[in-house]
A = this chain, B = another copy of it.
């Protein structure tokens, strides 16, 4: 692994995903689940849980870069635009630094919607497994 290594994947934020996430986590904020309530908000329709997009960052890290065995140390999340139910979210993680002599990497983490708008941005610090040479 080296600085600049990057991976991206796209995830469909379906109604099924949003309702499943609410069920699993107990997060029943009506902005995510209730059409009538959502119509009265600034967005005018239901938005996905921010943590669904955040979970795609975790998935990118754990599945691809750095990959299996990686452990989270920290993650910052700036929710810049809503993810609507039905959006396609592309998540990209990019290695921006590796600590000298330690298996610790910092990654830039970005989620964009199908219109190319950045919906979520942040930085992850992770501990990567010894098999993945820094």
Give chain A's interface residues, CB within 8 Å of chain B: 11, 17, 20-21, 24-32, 37, 41-42, 47, 49-52, 54-56, 58-59, 61-63, 68-79, 82, 129
Complex contacts, A24 vs chain B, CB 8 Å: 17, 20-21, 24, 55
Let me know if A62 and B11 touch, CB within 8 A: no
Q: Chain B's nearest CB lies how many Å from the CB of A92?
A: 15
Residue of B whose beta carbon sits closest to that of A129: B41
Let me know if A27 and B63 touch, CB within 8 A: yes
User: This chain: how many copies in the complex?
Assistant: 2
Let me know if B72 and A50 touch, CB within 8 A: yes
Complex contacts, A27 vs chain B, CB 8 Å: 55, 58-59, 62-63
Report which of B55, B68, B79 forms a contact with A72, defined as CB distance below 8 A.
Answer: B79
Let me know if B63 and A74 touch, CB within 8 A: no
Complex contacts, A29 vs chain B, CB 8 Å: 58, 61-63, 68-70
Give bound CA distance, A26 to B25, whole Å: 16
Complex contacts, A72 vs chain B, CB 8 Å: 50, 77, 79
Other 4 A-B pairs with CB < 8 A, given A29-B68, A51-B54: A28-B63, A31-B62, A42-B71, A49-B58
Let me know if A49 and B41 touch, CB within 8 A: no
